[in-house]
Amino acid sequence: MTIRSAVLVASASLAALVSAVPAMAQTSEPFTGAYVDAVGGWDRHQADEAHKDGFVYGAQAGYDFASGKVRFGPEIEATGSTEKGCANTATATICSKAGRDFFVGGRVGYVVAPKALVYLTGGYTNARYTGSVIQNGVAFSNDDDHSGARIGAGVEYAVTKNLFVKTEYRYSNYSNGIARNQVLGGVGIRF
């Protein structure tokens, strides 16, 4: 899937979600309906047996349906990262920087207490990395998009009927041997 296709899928999913919200009133069931949240936390990128750490930040949107105590639904996300690093060779300085990451997927969870939901998440992810080389005073750079799959698990806690906090671990595996581990927290609103 190209980056343009990923953006179109994410945009169409968000448009469908936003247009469906007025038509679907939130039920009295906890952890149901449309939501948006802000996320942030630890971000580790691994490639070629080396790793770099940074801070991931971004936003997520989704919709949860109920079937008994089970919750399930689609979600989309856009994040950025502060991860970057450089290495010097005898003739050049080589740098890399993590950029934006788009995710389209879903989650399924189980209400374990009136205010607590445990869940699994998974789907398609596309990350951009920028590489640069400085040699003899001349800089070259290149943006490279990597597609992959993400899986994760988390816990969501309802502070009020509409306000929630969460913590989540996820692992992404991209093309060309690039992997990513993240531990993050979030705060969000249900509509």
What does the pLDDT read at residue 2? 54
**137-166: per-residue pLDDT in tens?**
788 888 889 999 999 999 999 999 999 999
Chain centroid to CA 13: 15
Q: For the segment 89-130, what is each residue's pLDDT rounded down to a tens digit?
A: 888 888 888 899 999 999 999 999 999 999 999 999 999 988
The alpha carbon torsion through 156, 66, 112, 63 (nearest 10 deg) reads: -10
The model's pTM is 0.80
Q: Which domains does the chain have, with CATH numbers?
A: 3-190 (2.40.160.20)
Give 21's pLDDT tier (boundaries 50, 70, 90). Answer: very low
